[in-house]
Structure 1
Amino acid sequence: MIVKFSKTAETEYNQFKSYGDQNCVDKIVALLKSILSEGVDEGLGKPERLKYFKHATYSRRINREHRLVYQEREGVIYVLSCMGHYKK
């Protein structure tokens, strides 16, 4: 599987790196590895399918404040955001 970041998610990920928040960066990497090895709805971060999205969309906990929001389509993981909570 391939992982692609939306522009928003890429910006947010780079903000974590620039803020020096290595814990969040490491957790995002661990969550992505878990998605790739265990599937979109199992593994680390308490995966949860979100309602009200056109395509099947999931979130996983990075920490108390932030969530990794992603979709899986045609064998590609699309990371939609990784800062804050989910937005429709």
Structure 2
Amino acid sequence: MLAGEIRETTPWSDLGQRCGNAQKNVMSVFIIYLAMFLVDWKLALMTLASIPLGILSMMIMYAIGKKRMGDYYKSAQVMNYRDFTFENEF
């Protein structure tokens, strides 16, 4: 497009320039779920139910992992200390 030209626009023609990446990602998820509800609402509800289950399982894994991280950091410090102290002796 040359400077000074007027182009014909539609509401969706410059969507890429008006929206950021996060907005595009959220909009695409909503559009996909809308299409799924239009095709089969039962399957769409089952798919939508997987989101809270995924969040719950990640929360449980995070809680378990957080309890065990102290031992991991202690052993990592011991290994790093050993590598540092014995490296120059050979």
Q: Same fold (TM over 0.5)?
A: no
| TM-score normalised by structure 1 residue count | 0.33
Would you tell me which structure has more strand in proportion to its own residues? Answer: 1
Larger RCO, structures 1/2 (Cα 8 Å, 6+ apart): 1
Greater per-residue helix proportion: 2
What TM-score does the superposition give when structure 2 sets the normalisation length?
0.33
Larger of the two Rg values belongs to structure: 2
